[in-house]
Amino acid sequence: MKITLRPPDPSYARNGSNAKLVWDYSVDNQADLLGIIYSVKKTSGAFTGMLVKFANGSVTNHQGIPAAYKGRVRIEGRATLVIENVSPRDNTLFRCTLRATSGAEETSIINLIVTGTSLTHS
């Protein structure tokens, strides 16, 4: 089990656009893959889960998904994380973790930087 493609680090997305963090992986035996967990670093410094993609392809929200990401994150293709309508509050680290049935893991952490400014005036 190995992560074969990682997004650039840091990755950039324009304010208000959708950020696509493209990961991919390979496994020698599909039965060895338990699933993929996508996490975000909170201001407290700890990572918390957002989405879980199981080996059978089903995707569910992680029990700890922050409210700010409910309905804004999804998985495309095999392992691409899409974060919709990004804003400066999304300037943080995102993590993709492959988890094997044996308990082994491989992790990739990417820093997302949101560029540009909002057109709204206060």
> What is the residue extent of each domain of the chain?
2-115
pLDDT at position 118:
54
**94 pLDDT above the threshold of 80:** yes
C-alpha 4/C-alpha 65 separation (Å) is: 26
pLDDT at position 30:
80
pLDDT at position 31:
83
Angle (CA) 93 99 105, round 5°: 70
As a whole number, the mean pLDDT across the chain is: 93
Say which residue, 44 or 119, is predicted with more confidence: 44
Say which residue, 76 or 118, is predicted with more confidence: 76
Q: What mean pLDDT do residues 25-52 have?
A: 93
CATH number of 2-115: 2.60.40.10
